[in-house]
Structure 1
């Protein structure tokens, strides 16, 4: 039988100051300037905060007001904490339920999630809020967005807020460490995912393939010759669907072919494994006829029009609900190396908020990091477990034991690593790479080297703009 895990759902050279700052508008991908003093809540060029006693070990602050919040009558008189969220639908409901649970667990703080649209819409709203001088207390930021605000000195260092009972040891280290810059944490993981290889077990059995994912891209090509002998709706069944509107999976393939998109801000997409991966995919699509560029690879796989694809861990429940066949998942294929990127979101605090608000906001993050609450989030959304002890919570432990597909994502985590810097820190880095991918995957495919040469030049121009702030943090 097709497994049905409990509640797993689909989702989805100087620091800037008054004298020298990068526009936060550019960081969020919008074209409006930002006053440098609004970003970190500084009152002079040394970065001294304008308020708060700083006893928690975070930076002082205080010149940024709070966005509008109207607590229900039963919570009036508490310290208000506003979280700006990029989660709607089922995930948003799960988050709201956890915050209501927090509100009922104590009598001092009221926390509220305010949906601001998906990441590419919510980040520019934060830019506008910083300019206006009134911000949320907790900001949900994608893994490819928080670093852009970091470079503009807008994020609160979190290290001083942790204690002996709540610290790095509670978390899956690989996920926690993505928010570290040197020894300081600026972004705390929460809704995290990796790509998985999905395959149609019924198709694999029908053509006599092993009940597993291919170990390499070369093995996928060999298997594809058998898969495409089948037909669906009168047409040869395609073996693999590629995604052209997300560079996440392509970055994984670049690593698997031994390359990178960048080394730090040194762009490498026009050489080595990136070009090799692009050329391999292009040949697989146009020369072999085994693959194609899908509008929604996960949807196509779930409806049975393609035998395999690569998409997020968070897509598992949606695929289960759509599929009329037995679904299998596997580690991502290698070629010359392993390549498993992490994705998803986490939380940051805003540097310029008052110390009282920052202290209250961190209490919310501590609550979400309790094992029972972290397990509740994973079960409700399908995101990876991020708190080690959450996997011992009985309901999540049963889900991991009963559904090997979901457990694959946990087993693959030791191979995972954070995105290449050009994708994470350059404001339009992802959009430039995606535009290039669509050119090589579509309409017969343009010359891979030529396309990536153009993309690399654009990325290098952007990298020069952010290099001074990046080097302040990363050397």
Structure 2
């Protein structure tokens, strides 16, 4: 990766931080109900209903699945019409939502990622939801692990929807041909040893490597930092420079540059499906598409440990905007109830995201699918090891973009992990100091 690319990433980071700052400043002083609803189009047959606008970051197949679910909601009753407005991914949605506060026009329900919803909480832009539940729809409708991640100081602000963890995927044909066990490696050390065993092995006449890395998402490194005993932070105390976090990044550097059995690619899924790499780490949400794309049998396993497990949760959830009018929020809650009951099993079944509700976990169709394709059950079982991202990654927006720079430098340019992480922390310190006061006022126990 060249210098100009790093500079561009820094500019993107600054732009995203500015958008987050806009959201924080624009929300200040606004009272409940003062934001207008974003514009859109309502079909004539729904013109007399209460309109609810859902902003979604899902694309392609997942967008189609969500639209089918929302069509079902619109057909299930006669009082509310839900309109989906789509954005090409979380950054695009995040930028538009931040800008919408400046003009006091917001959607009603938003799919916010596991790391950007916290900033809107700090901006006091999210509706507290605990008081909406009743005897007919209780918080225990949701998986407790995921529900807890959207709860701050005993108040619920963010509800589970498209939740996931990374899985370790492996090509069973390659493993069998190379004499490797039909399972995932128990530790990162074992993964590296298997990489040595794979050296020189050719699959369909072409040499392959053990693992393909992505430089587009630091989510996976968040997990491996835990596995080595490190972290991004302990509370809001940074730990990027700790010996253990450096060791996790040094493992990746050595696997790529010393062993030459791993590499950086722009599309891990395509490489895996093509048999270029023996293994990848990717989201449980990618499982359905991988199974369709691969011409070989895919193995799925827990992520490797080292000193301890390192499994991060990810994906997105649903938040209601606090400054929407009261009648809009009540109508939105009716949509939330539908999504939790009828919609959630259909969503999980057709996308591969983890079941997040009781209705999903008890769905006969999902149980049947898991029995037929046990990779899905592996994803559910691994949830017992999972935990949410470190505080600094969730509340200091610049952390992710800075860590992407770190990974690109180490993975592509063989940079020194310790020095690269030290530089990242120097760059991040002003942002940490900026967020610290509000974090301690609104979040810290």
TM-score normalised according to structure 2 size:
0.93
Alpha-carbon separation, structure 2, partners of 1:28 and 1:160? 33
Which residue in the other structure is 2:340 paired with? 369
| Contact kept? 1:86, 1:140, Cα under 8 Å | yes
Alpha-carbon separation, structure 2, partners of 1:302 and 1:246? 20
Change (3 A) 1:225 1:149: same
Alpha-carbon separation, structure 2, partners of 1:110 and 1:447? 55
Residues 28-43 of structure 1 correspond to what in structure 2 (within 5 A)?
A: 29-30=17-18, 34=22, 38-39=26-27, 42=30
Change (3 A) 1:468 1:332: same
Please state whether the residue corresponding to 1:77 is helix, strand or coil: coil
Please state whether the residue corresponding to 1:300 is helix, strand or coil: helix
| Contact kept? 1:41, 1:352, Cα under 8 Å | no
Q: Which has the higher helix share?
A: 2
The structure 2 residue matched to 1:418, chosen from 379, 388, 391, is 388
**Does residue 353 of structure 1 match 2:341?**
no
How far did residue 103 of structure 1 move?
1.1
The structure 2 residue matched to 1:448, chosen from 405, 417, 422, is 417
| Contact kept? 1:96, 1:113, Cα under 8 Å | yes
Alpha-carbon separation, structure 2, partners of 1:187 and 1:379? 22
| Contact kept? 1:40, 1:350, Cα under 8 Å | no
Gaps of 5+ in 1: 1-24, 43-48, 50-60
Alpha-carbon separation, structure 2, partners of 1:430 and 1:193? 18
| Contact kept? 1:198, 1:311, Cα under 8 Å | yes
Please state whether the residue corresponding to 2:278 is helix, strand or coil: strand
Which residue in the other structure is 2:353 paired with? 383
Which residue in the other structure is 2:9 paired with? none
Residues 47-66 of structure 1 correspond to what in structure 2 (within 5 A)?
A: 49=31, 61-66=32-37
**Does residue 457 of structure 1 match 2:426?**
yes
Which residue in the other structure is 1:11 paired with? none
How far did residue 33 of structure 1 move?
6.3
The structure 2 residue matched to 1:78, chosen from 37, 49, 69, is 49
Gaps of 5+ in 2: 1-12
How large is the RMSD of aligned CA atoms in angstroms?
1.8
Which residue in the other structure is 1:229 paired with? 200
Please state whether the residue corresponding to 2:54 is helix, strand or coil: strand
Which residue in the other structure is 1:132 paired with? 103
Change (3 A) 1:35 1:216: closer
**Does residue 428 of structure 1 match 2:403?**
no
Please state whether the residue corresponding to 1:369 is helix, strand or coil: helix
TM-score normalised according to structure 1 size:
0.87
Change (3 A) 1:28 1:288: closer
| Contact kept? 1:247, 1:433, Cα under 8 Å | yes
How far did residue 263 of structure 1 move?
1.2
